[in-house]
Amino acid sequence: MAENQDSVLAAEYPLLSDQKALSLPKRPFWVITAERAFEWIIRLSGVSAILFVLAIFFFVFKEAIPVLFSENFNIVQFLFSTKWYPTSAVNVRYGTFSLIIGSFSVTILAMLIAVPFGLGAAIYISEFCEKRRKEMLKIIIELLAAIPSVVWGFIGITVMSKLIVNFTGAPAGVNLLNGGLILALMSVPIIVSIGEDALKAVPDSYREAALSMGATKWQMIYRVLLPAAKSGLLAAVLLGIGRAAGETMAVLMATGHSVQIPMSLIDSVRTLTANIAAELGEAPAGSDHYRVLFLTGVLLFCITFAVNLTADLVIRGIRGK
């Protein structure tokens, strides 16, 4: 590194190069070594992210693969049958279609509630709020994001389920609506804090320009701010989706854990994640049931990957314009 600098110096200032001992005092050896070491540590932590993802992918696949060749297993049944009987005494069937629909329905419902609320709150905090209230709101919302999911699940079982029975007359309070509401509450803080950051990143000169052109505040937000912060807001929504789709404990407690395709908001459902959490502990290691659960893990992996990839492409599309 030091020699590099020397040669650059020599090229730019030919006169100085003769007296380089004077112009560039040597740095102690240990400083240079420490710098090199830190460079390597940082490089390694960058690479380790890739390594971990590959290692997890490899492990989950390795555990799942043998079942593909088992005679009790049929990939079409796995993806499109609603019959999930992993421990049946007479007829073992591994159909995850209801679970896939369960996962999607809870996530979509949660997003229908969380996205308008989250983005609305982000706009309010960033644009309409006075400074002191803004700081207070931000602290409270970050606190909300720190509540553990098992606590949310507990709220779902105890508080939310009673409210749902009272207001909708549902036969049981633990259902799709309960899970969706809990997940929405869990992902709103993420959408708000990232959405607010995205809006804050829009330079004030945009706002000033819009207002000086005679735009109202609403017109400024709708026509200037939102388009300018588009990719950041989309990232906020996608992280919210990620939280909702991957959530396990809260949905395990709040959705009723019932293998069926929901026909209404007050039907109970079971999600892929909750199913793995509930059954993996009791499935004998190496059995077909155990491997099928890993295969549902692979399925989840693929779904998340597809969501992230779409998001990436969409953001690129927006930037490209």
Residues that bind another protein (CB under 8 A): 82-91, 98, 161-162, 165, 169, 171-174, 252, 256-260, 268, 270, 278-279, 281-283
- In what helix (H) or strand (E) does residue 31 lie, and over which residues does it extend? helix 29-64
Q: 141 vs 283, which CB is nearer to another protein? A: 283
Contact 299, 96 (CB under 8 A): yes
Question: In sequence order, what DSSP letters do the residues of 134-189 get, joined into one string?
Answer: HHHHHHHHHHHHTS-HHHHHHHIIIIIHHHHHHHH--S-SSSHHHHHHHHHHHHHH
Count CB-CB contacts under 10 A for residue 206: 15
Convert 78-100 into a string of H (helix), E (strand) and C (coil).
HHHCCCEECCCCCCCEECCHHHH
What does the radius of gyration of the chain's CA atoms come to, in whole angstroms? 27
- Smallest CA-to-CA distance from 233 within 220, 244, 222 is with 222
Q: 160 vs 188, which CB is nearer to another protein? A: 160
Question: In sequence order, what DSSP letters do the residues of 247-261 get, joined into one string?
Answer: --HHHHHHSB---S-
Q: How far is the CB of 84 from another protein (least distance, A)?
A: 7
Question: Any bridge partners for residue 269, and if so which?
Answer: 256
Q: How far is the CB of 83 from another protein (least distance, A)?
A: 7
Q: 78 vs 84, which CB is nearer to another protein? A: 84
Q: 173 vs 189, which CB is nearer to another protein? A: 173
Take residue 293 and report the two structure tokens written for it: 């659960």
Q: How far is the CB of 88 from another protein (least distance, A)?
A: 5
Q: 237 vs 283, which CB is nearer to another protein? A: 283
Q: How far is the CB of 76 from another protein (least distance, A)?
A: 19
Q: 174 vs 194, which CB is nearer to another protein? A: 174
Q: How far is the CB of 259 from another protein (least distance, A)?
A: 4
- In what helix (H) or strand (E) does residue 233 lie, and over which residues does it extend? helix 230-246
Q: 74 vs 258, which CB is nearer to another protein? A: 258
Q: How far is the CB of 94 from another protein (least distance, A)?
A: 12
Q: How far is the CB of 299 from another protein (least distance, A)?
A: 19
Contacting residues for 112 by C-beta, under 8 A, at least 6 apart: 180
Contact 268, 256 (CB under 8 A): yes
Q: 121 vs 266, which CB is nearer to another protein? A: 266
Q: 236 vs 259, which CB is nearer to another protein? A: 259
Q: How far is the CB of 171 from another protein (least distance, A)?
A: 5
DSSP for residue 133: H
What proportions of the chain, in percent to the nearest 5, are helix, strand and coil? Answer: 75, 0, 20
Using DSSP, state whether 269 is helix, strand or coil: strand
Q: How far is the CB of 186 from another protein (least distance, A)?
A: 20
